[in-house]
Amino acid sequence: MHILRKIINKKNHLLSSQFVRQVLTLLSGASIAQALPILVSPLLTRLYSPEAFGLLAVFMMLVNVFTVASSAKYEQSIMLADNERDANHLMAFSIWISLGMSVLLMTLFTLFNSSISRILNAPGISPWLYVVPAVIFFRGIFQIFEVYSSRQKRFRGISVNRVLQRSVSSGSQVGLGFLGLEAAGLILSSLAGSFIGAVGMSRSNLKSKGLFKNISRKHIWKLAGRFKKFPKYTLPGTFINTMSFQLPVFLLTSFFSSVIVGFYSLADRILMIPMRLLGRSVSQVFYQRANEYKNDKVKLSQITYEVYKKLLLTGIIPLSLVIVFGDHLFGLIFGEQWYTAGQYAQVLGIWVLFNFISSPMSRLFVVLEKQEKSLVVQIVLFFFRLAPFLLGVALYDDALQVLMLYAMVSGVFWLGFCFYLLNMAGVNLKKAFFYTIFIVAVFLLPLAGLRILIFSLIL
């Protein structure tokens, strides 16, 4: 009872704290945009097969990896421009690069279509490779105008267009699903959403008079040289980070099948979207507060540990249910054919928990001006994802066993990364370790016992 009372008090404190109120304030337009795919998932899983979801995952893997490089990260320099003329030139330059990248990819996908499909072990992706460059271009345009809108403080416009983009994509998936279009319905919906998002975002900014007037190539090259650190340093780190997150999809489709990728993609969608949504909001608040106290080691240590504890409590509550009952929850909510996706979600749960916790806290690299260490972490992360997968494929024929090995190694890495960040902020690691063990045990052990009891009674 004492432990239960302590947890309830923690929960009440969590909900009443200023930090949480600030986080909840940020969950607005972007929250709706991220929530839509989750809300329609129970319907989509009954309209589309696991194989269709697998082909969509392979398609989006290519889109996500190349969208990162679509404008060589020059779009981020728009915010740093000294004046509107420079911002306009950088925006034009980013659009040119994005267009050039799309043309280059279309050429490569046309010349090597069959080879790429064979490498991906996904023959069904072949006709959709021609759509990838278009989606990348539209998403690149969205990114460019999103940064420009932020510069102009048009935050409402950004939220509206994000919701519009997701609404069109999710609505089209449902509509085309009823028509029985399978993978075509999912991929064409992604194209439609990306197109509408790009059009909406660009229209709201192109109303500005003289936006692209008197663009000088000479001035563009001058600005490109000034902001060369973006393609030189920011791009490689971001690209490696994106590659590492897309690695499971690439390896699962290469060594197994689109059906297995479909199961994984649903587990990933259900686990990661809400975690990323909340994590992004926490990250913004933590960034501001950590930056405020960066010269006060005691305060920085206190606020970092406070955030760690709140993230642990916030994440363990839903994820403990998934870890213990995920297989049956997925079968109940998404249909019996998705039982395997629930098993994947179970083994991925602990990894997702510590990944969720570390994401906002990684802002410490920027606050403490240790960005070079962040790049090293991304490279190490990439190999920590690649190695267990390759080892798992060599040892096992079953995708679930491969994912279990991957999740265990990744979970250890992310836990270690969390403690590395805590140490960077001067937090007592022994205290943090025992708190972590206590919280995880308090939530997981009773639920595990409940599962054993339920199934012993049933059987």
Give the model's pLDDT for residue 29: 58
The pLDDT value given to residue 24: 47
* Residue 22 predicted with pLDDT over 80: no
> Using an 8 Å Cβ cutoff, are 330 and 342 in contact?
yes
pLDDT at 275: 76
pLDDT category, 459, cuts 50, 70, 90? Answer: low
Rounded CA-CA distance 423/420 in Å is 5
Closest CA to 363 of 416, 425, 415: 425
Q: What is the mean pLDDT of the chain?
A: 85
- For residue 333, is pLDDT > 90? yes
Residue 210, pLDDT > 70, answer: no
Say how far apart CA 392 and CA 385 lie, in whole Å.
11
- Identify the pLDDT of residue 284: 59
Most confident of 11-20, 70-79, 132-141: 132-141
- How far is it, in rounded angstroms, from Cα 398 to Cα 245? 21
Evaluate whether 48 touches 335 at the Cβ level (below 8 Å): no
Look at 84-93, 215-224, 356-365, 389-398 and tell me which has the smallest mean pLDDT. Answer: 356-365
Ordered DSSP codes for 104-145: HHHHHHHHTHHHHHHHTT-GGGGGGGGTHHHHHHHHHHHHHH
> Which has more pLDDT, 303 or 32?
303
Phi-psi region of 48 (alpha: psi -120 to 50; beta: other; left: phi over 0): beta
Cα 105 from Cα 34, distance rounded (Å):
28
204 versus 170: the higher-pLDDT residue is 170
Rounded to whole angstroms, what are the CA distances from 90 to 40, 70, 83, 96? 38, 14, 11, 10
- What does the pLDDT look like over 60-101, one tens digit per residue? 999 999 998 898 888 888 888 888 888 888 999 999 999 999
Angle at 125 between CA 119 and CA 126, to 5 degrees: 80
Query: For residue 18, is pLDDT > 70?
Result: no
Alpha-carbon distance of 449 to 215, in angstroms, equals 68
Specify the amino acid at residue 359.
Answer: S
Residue 422 phi, psi (nearest 5): -60, -40
Residue ranges per structural domain of the chain: 1-28+243-459, 48-227
Which two three-digit tokens encode residue 65?
């990896």
pLDDT at 366: 67
The letter for the amino acid at 397 is: D
Percent of the chain with pLDDT over 70: 89
pLDDT at residue 166 tops 70: yes
Is the pLDDT at 339 greater than 70? The verdict is yes
Task: Give per-residue pLDDT as tens, 270-283.
Answer: 998 777 767 766 76
Q: Does the pLDDT at position 370 exceed 60? A: yes
Query: 74: burial class by Cβ within 10 Å (0-12, 13-18, 19+)?
Result: buried
Q: Looking at residue 252, what is its pLDDT?
A: 92
Sorted by sequence, the CB contacts under 8 Å of residue 104 that are 6+ apart come out as none
pLDDT reading at 4 higher than 70 = no
Using the predicted structure, report yes or no on whether residue 56 has a pLDDT greater than 60.
yes
